[in-house]
Structures are given as structure tokens and as C-alpha cells.
Amino acid sequence: MGRWTGKKVAVLHGGRSSEREVSLKTGVACAEALRTRGLDVTLIDVGLDVAERLRAAGAEVAFVALHGRYGEDGSIQGLLESLGIPYTGSGVLASAVGMDKVLSKLLFKSVGLDVTDYRVFPPEQAAALLGKDFPFTFPVVVKPACEGSSVGVTLVKDPTHLGAACVEAARWKGDVIVERYVKGKEVQVAVLDGKAMGVIEVVPANEFYDYAAKYTAGTTQYFYPARISEPDTRKLMEAAELAHRSLGCSGVTRTDFILAADGVAWILEVNTLPGMTASSLVPKIAAGNGIPFPELCERLLDGAALKS
């Protein structure tokens, strides 16, 4: 019997971010999984009245199934801390820094992880950027600093397309990041309670793992375990644990890497609230470790706590 059996569990999903539709699916999947474990679950689509809805539901613990702004950036975590409601996942600071790609890159570099060359520009300067404004050659990847699920991300091969990509990134939250494109295997590592569970390889139909590849069935191939050497597997798992620990994360995270042909594991980002849909990577890795989805969800719920 889990710690929260007999208690009122609120699964928070939906929200107001660009990743709302994915979060709705995550929330439904997690709520159904928790109910199969005998838990009393209420689904709450998070809006501006979320505090009132939590009180009305008599919520004693919150399972956070949100993605993106207002849910993955420390906002809802701060509210739950103020309400005294234990919650799953990382705390306020880890969530905020993990969501900000500029801050997280600085942190990753400080602990010795490999971060590809990049430059950061204010959104208002984005449309005027030229190739001479950064010290690396095309192709480049352009992305907003504070979004997830590859929202606003563009792979730019032709310098004449740079301006449009930067304008697209500037539509979203945060500064505009231009980084050197690194070619290699796209691999992701799930870390549960500080311990890496495994490495999965992603082979998207497109040239990189964009929003469509992540959430459109049949567009991506997955290989678990990843088709890489044992030394590379160990290196990636250790790097993911270090990234998880350096951010101060809790619960489950997914760290995204590019494994280059020369063996360098370039870290892209840590997802402090990774997707938990049928096509999501963390459930695939957990299943490969003999952890069914309902058990994974209850393990995450069992780790719910106040972090401040």
C-alpha cells in the first residue's frame, strides 16, 4: 500500500502553456494509472483558479502533470509550497533553472558537462542577426530560452533563413539562443530518484527531434536500450545523474543528449517534468526496467513532498 492510499490526490494537468495539449494527455494517462492502483484521484485542469479548485477538492497531495510555462518553471511549485500541499517532481529552484536553457547551460558547464557553443540574444535583436554575430558556422539551431517540447526550435542550414528562425524563436518566452548544430545520435536518459534507469535512442523521421516527431505517432523510431557501446551508456548515465543532481532535481527527470561520432556526449537540456503519454520516453525506459506505467506513477506519487 502506497503512502497516499486513502488520501485525496489531485492530478494537475492542462494549464496555460504552449504545451497544454500534451499536458492534458499526460494528466489523463497518469490519473488513470493511479486509479488502477486504488488511489482517489481528481483531475484538475490548471487555470487562474487553481488554488480554489485544490481547496474545493480537498487535495492532500498533488501529482504535477504539467509541461512548459506556469507548470514546469517553478510557478505551480511555489503555489503548492504556499498552500502546504506536497507535490511530485522538483522544487521551485530546480524547476525554474531547469526551464531556463541559458541558466542551465551555465550550470552544466560549471560541473564539467559538455555544452555545445552558443550565443544568447535579446528577442528584440533577433530579426537583425547575421551569421557573423556568432563564432561558428552553419548549420545552427535557433531556440527560445524558456520553452519546452521543441516549441519555437528551428534547424537552420541556409544563412538566408536565419532571420525567420530568430523571429519565430522570439515569439516565445525568453531570450533567443543560437547554438552550433552537433550531428550524432539523439539519446535520452531517465533518472529516477537520482539514479539513471537507462538510455533510449531516438531516430526521428525529420532531421531532429522536433515537436511533430515527439507527439505524432509513427514519425519516430525508438531503441531501448540504445544502440551504443557499454562505455558510452555508462558515460551518459553518469552525466545525466550529474545534471539531475546539479540542478537539485527530485522525482524523475529526462536528460537529452547528442552522442557525437567521437564519443562526446553533448548535453541539451534536463526536462524536470518529462512527458508521460503513450509515446513518451520515460515510460518506455521504465518498462524496459520492468516497471509498469501504473507502478511508475505511484512511485512518483510516493516521493511527493514539500521542498522549501
Residues carrying an active site annotation: 19, 149, 215, 254, 256, 269, 271, 275
Using alpha carbons, list the distances in angstroms from residue 198 to 230, 251, 284.
11, 15, 10
Exposure string (b/e) for 76-112, b if CB count within 10 Å is 16 or more?
bbbbbbeeebbbbbbbbebbbbbbbbeebbebbeeee
Instruction: Give CA 297 to chain center in angstroms.
Output: 16
CA–CA distance, 67 with 289 (Å, rounded to integer): 25
One-character DSSP codes across 215-228: HSTTSEEEESS-SS
CA–CA distance, 35 with 120 (Å, rounded to integer): 45
Beta-strand pair 252-259/185-192? antiparallel
CA–CA distance, 91 with 250 (Å, rounded to integer): 7
Cβ(138)–Cβ(124) under 8 Å?
no
Angle value at C-alpha 71, between 42 and 188, nearest 5 degrees: 105
CA–CA distance, 157 with 142 (Å, rounded to integer): 11
Instruction: Give CA 71 to chain center in angstroms.
Output: 11
Q: 3-state secondary structure string, 17-38?
A: CCCHHHHHHHHHHHHHHHHHCC
- Environment class of 166 (CB within 10 Å of its CB; exposed 0-12, middle 13-18, buried 19+): buried
Q: Which residues does residue 299 pair with via DSSP β-bridges, in sequence order?
A: none
